Structure 1
Amino acid sequence: MIDPRWVFVSAVLGMAGSVRYAYAIVRGTVRPHPVTWSLWAAVPLIAFSARLDSGVGLPAVQTLVAGAGPLVVVVTGVCTRRNLARLGAFDLACAVAACAALGAWLGLGEAALAVVSAVAADAAAALPTVVKAWHDPASENLLFYVLVGTGATVTLLTITSWSPAAWAFAAYVLTLSVSLVAIVSGRRRALRYA
């Protein structure tokens, strides 16, 4: 394991990715999905407080930035009123599922179960962006997911206590980031040669 203070590198990578994504919104090169990004802001910020309650320590910084960065994206999207993806029934169903998982999480007294519920809520929130990335890979910014995935890897390397409360959220973020990089780059390649 590496020094726990490396988690600050993870935080910087995550925030840099979010600022880059926000800049891409202003330039008109990406379209954030409002359901995904709103819940990506809310869920980690709540998970951060749960992780603090469980005494996780410095690895919780990655979770804080995982919420603060998307909040920057949401505010940029709303303020510019540009390039927000449209909402459909599937998107709303994912939002309801994420909110239900979030509600279950908030009702749980145990920090480890709360973090697992937070991961489920965040994953439900991610589905609209995964679908959007499949259909319109040009609407996503690969660098964001590379930076966030790298930050999650750094966070995992700093963990000294392998309780689910310590590692579950960072492992989920890494898995999601790798998946989205694969989807976006693979679909861009497939569409280019189709």
Structure 2
Amino acid sequence: MHYFVFLAAFISLSAAVSYVRQMFRGQAKPNKVSWLLWSVAPTIAAIAAFSEGVTLAVLPVFMAGFSTLIVFVFSFVCKGAYWDIRRFDLICGAVSLLALIFWYLTKQADIAIIFSILSDFLACLPTFAKAWKYPETEHVSPYASGIFSAFTSFLAISHWNFASVAFPAYLFLINIALSVAIEHRRFIPRRKEVK
């Protein structure tokens, strides 16, 4: 079962590369606040889980941070791939950073994971809002692969505890939510405007 974790890591990396290609084609416009914080929070959660003895099951969480870092870096290289940052984005980013600071002050692994989840969720809000209103600015591949990647963590868990389960469960749910936000117009027709 552990080989699924390596497959998930490869898929996560492939999805990031696919998203970057969509950026260069003008088909994806990442929110830099979300993508920066998405690279930080999972990395902290992975380090915290590793410090609690979680080993291979933490690889998908680490890859969630690493693959989003790739997208964040390329968002500066690809001139047309950006999303205007608004006050809402900055507020979510600031609260997200505060969550990480609170974790740093506590120095406890489970609290680190809780605050990493909170930070990641708050970082997600600007992209979720953008994807719901303007789904054409997003590409579903990194989120769909995130669902699979998070699921593989459960296959590799040897000791079921908060440190091993919390962040993968969160990633599983949040990637489903983001995928639905991007793809919802395929299933829910837009209302025609009344003239």
Over the matched positions of the two proteins, sequence identity in percent amounts to 30
Which residue does 2:46 correspond to in 1?
48
C-alpha distance in structure 2 between counterparts of 1:13 and 1:120, whole Å: 25
How far 1:188 moved relative to its partner?
A: 4.5
- The residue correspondences of 1:5-16 to structure 2 (distance < 5 A) are 5-16=3-14
SS of the counterpart of 2:56? coil
Give 5+ residue unaligned stretches, structure 1: none
C-alpha distance in structure 1 between counterparts of 2:95 and 2:154, whole Å: 27
Which residue does 1:84 correspond to in 2?
82
Which residue does 2:64 correspond to in 1?
66
TM normalised by structure 1 equals: 0.93
How far 1:192 moved relative to its partner?
A: 5.7
How far 1:33 moved relative to its partner?
A: 0.5
Which residue does 2:134 correspond to in 1?
136
Which residue does 1:185 correspond to in 2?
183
Which residue does 2:15 correspond to in 1?
17
Native 8 Å contact 2:61 2:150 kept in 1: no
How far 1:81 moved relative to its partner?
A: 2.2
SS of the counterpart of 1:87? coil
Give 5+ residue unaligned stretches, structure 2: none
How far 1:110 moved relative to its partner?
A: 1.8
Which residue does 1:153 correspond to in 2?
151
Is 2:60 aligned against 1:28?
no
C-alpha distance in structure 2 between counterparts of 1:4 and 1:113, whole Å: 27
User: Which among 111, 126, 133 is matched to residue 124 of structure 2?
Assistant: 126
Q: After alignment, is 95-104 or 154-163 more displaced? A: 154-163
Native 8 Å contact 1:137 1:188 kept in 2: no
Decide whether aligned partners of structure 1 residues 106 and 5 sit closer, same or farther in structure 2, where only a CA change above 3 A counts. farther
Q: After alignment, is 10-19 or 117-126 more displaced? A: 10-19
How far 1:28 moved relative to its partner?
A: 1.0
Native 8 Å contact 2:44 2:113 kept in 1: no
Summarize deviations over 1:16-35 as a string: whole Å, max 9, x none: 11111111111111000010
Which residue does 1:174 correspond to in 2?
172
TM normalised by structure 2 equals: 0.92
Native 8 Å contact 2:60 2:152 kept in 1: no
Native 8 Å contact 1:138 1:188 kept in 2: no
